[in-house]
Amino acid sequence: MKHRIVYKLILIALVLASCEDDGLGVVEFADQHASELDQYALSAGTSTIFMNSSLAYDNEAEWIRSNPANFTRWKHGNSLYDNALTSGSGLGPVYAGYSCNSCHVHAGRTTAGTWNLRNDGTYGSGEQGMSSMLIYVTRKNGVFFQDYGRVIHDQSIYGVTAEGKLRVDWDYETFHFPDGEPYELARPSYTITDWYAPGPDGHVPRPDELFCTVRIPLRHVGMGQMMALDPAEIEALAARSNYPEYGISGRCNYITERGVRRLGVSGNKAQHADLTVELGFSSDMGVTNSRYPEEICQGQQQMVQGGSLMGLLYDQLEISTREMEDVDLYMHGLGVPARRLGSPSLMVSVPTSDGKTRTMTERELIARGEQMFYEARCQLCHTTTLHTRPRGATLLNGTELPWLGSQTIHPYSDFLIHDMGSEIMGVGLNDNYVSGLCRGNEWRTTPLWGVGLQKKVNGHTYFLHDGRARNFTEAIMWHGGEGEASKNLFKKMDRADRAALIKFLESL
């Protein structure tokens, strides 16, 4: 009965809603039955919000808004997340971003530097401005470079030299679906330029002795629900995630943080067990804190540069644990946009493989796309329904969030790691970077909730870990390894059915 009351209130709110409409608008939920809302439209249970504007990722859930103490802390965390730091407020000496928001605009994915045009005609780190990406380097045996650490920081405060810059060269290749429709894939090649040469010998790593991989920002959609996932359910998924007929066998990544071995669910390779707020302030922005009290270039010449030229102090923490926990609460408390079911009256026409057209309502097209999603067996990895544990989530300083407990959610991910192949265009998605138990060719299944609003929120449709996919079709066609069977099922579909599946993704 309690849930029925909640859904009735949601229906009333939908009728009154006045959010911006993009053709898949919230007002089009109003004629749905509560039983339908109880399933996939309520993406995150009580944390579902009905918004499809450019701020769809950046609004608080109802359990935040209705609790004054939560809302006060959430707003403070939001301001810290958005606040642009300077050298005087803790930024640097070297950094990857000057605020959380600089890489995650509106809690989404800022356009990454992999597609930033440089002055020399290549792409990568800009000579000025933000690059919005993390540049990971290791030796070919997996060991970090002592003078650079795990991340090359391509930005620096005034008077300090950045550790290096990233150059991206793109190789393009055209392919065709069986019905003749072309598509193109772009493969990046990475080179580090403008190395900062530390030490008396001025040594910089040679291209032939390093691996380089890039991460563009993740959407911060559903972070609280992800942290509240029931580990037993994820482990049970791994135990039965064995579909030899499709070549699929997902597994868990386990990592040790704070001296405790835990299930990894966060990050591109499920290499973290928390939302990495403390790590983000330290590694991404160069802000010292209780967990990471040393500057990220501790022992490097940049410390001498920064201290002598700027008079900076490196013997005090630059953000408190309480402040970081408020940022953690902000991320946990973000609402998750509901699925948009489409207009029942807007007629759309899509071309078919035989040169004709198929006409149906937008809602019918999305429903057809959902059917194709299942026919391609996408749900075997992009699991539609999971559950949170009864006690909810716990913030980094121990604050409990029971509001996130006992929820049925629809993240479209199993949060397991899968081999995504090494064969497409010679390398596939294998980046040779090991994270915990996750090998270079393995990646966590990306949650799809909110993915259809990325263009509206952040103005682009770059997908995958380094943004190489420029649209949904390219993202699908980069699937190899355990994703090969689903990719081939997608390839063989009628052109209209491929378009319907893409439309379905846009509705999430």
Q: What is the pLDDT of residues 453-490, one digit of tens each?
A: 999 999 999 999 999 999 999 999 999 999 999 999 99
Q: What stretches of 37-106 show up as alpha helix (H) in DSSP?
A: 62-65, 68-82, 100-103
Beta bridge partners of 400: 394
Q: How far is CA 227 from the centre of its chain?
A: 14
Rounded to whole angstroms, the Cα distance separating 38 from 46 reads 11
* Cβ neighbourhood burial of 299 (10 Å; 0-12, 13-18, 19+): exposed
What one-letter code names the amino acid at 436?
G
Query: Which residues of 342-478 form beta strands (DSSP E)?
Result: 347-351, 357-361, 386-387, 393-394, 400-401, 408-409, 417-419, 442-444
Per-residue pLDDT of the chain in tens (508 residues, 90 and over written 9): 334 334 333 433 433 333 444 444 433 443 333 344 446 677 898 899 999 999 999 999 999 999 999 999 999 999 999 999 998 899 989 999 999 999 999 999 999 899 988 888 889 997 666 789 999 999 988 888 877 888 999 999 988 889 999 999 999 999 999 999 999 999 999 999 999 877 666 778 888 889 999 999 999 999 999 999 999 999 999 998 888 899 999 999 999 988 899 999 999 999 999 999 999 999 999 999 999 988 887 667 666 665 544 445 556 789 999 999 999 999 999 999 999 999 999 999 999 999 999 999 999 999 999 999 999 999 999 999 999 999 999 999 999 999 999 999 999 999 999 999 999 999 999 999 999 999 999 999 999 999 999 999 999 999 999 999 999 999 999 999 999 999 999 999 999 999 999 999 999 9
* Burial class, 347, CB count within 10 angstroms (exposed 0-12 / middle 13-18 / buried 19+): exposed
Instruction: Specify the DSSP class assigned to residue 122.
Output: S
Residue 188 in contact with residue 215, Cβ under 8 Å?
no
Determine the Cα–Cα distance for residues 441 and 429; give it in Å rounded to an integer. 6
Q: Read off the tokens for 53.
A: 């504007």
pTM equals: 0.91
What backbone torsions phi and psi does residue 246 show, to the nearest 5 degrees? -115, 5
Whole-angstrom CA distances from 271 to 163, 232, 442 are: 24, 18, 11
Q: Looking at residue 378, what DSSP letter applies?
A: G
Q: How far is CA 501 from the centre of its chain?
A: 21
- CA–CA distances in Å: residue 313 to residues 88, 316, 372: 10, 7, 58
Rounded Cα gap, residues 81 and 431, in angstroms: 30
Q: What are phi and psi of 174, to 5 degrees?
A: -95, 135
Pair 81, 100: CB distance under 8 Å: yes
Burial label for 278, CB within 10 Å (0-12, 13-18, 19+), is buried
Q: How far apart are CA 236 and CA 383, in angstroms?
A: 13
Contact 382, 414 (CB under 8 A): yes
End-to-end Cα separation, the chain, in angstroms:
28
Query: Could you tell me how many residues make up the chain?
Result: 508
pLDDT single digits (tens) 187-246: 999 999 999 877 666 778 888 889 999 999 999 999 999 999 999 999 999 998 888 899
Spatial CA neighbour of 272 closest among 137, 490, 283: 283
Two tokens, residue 104: 């995650």
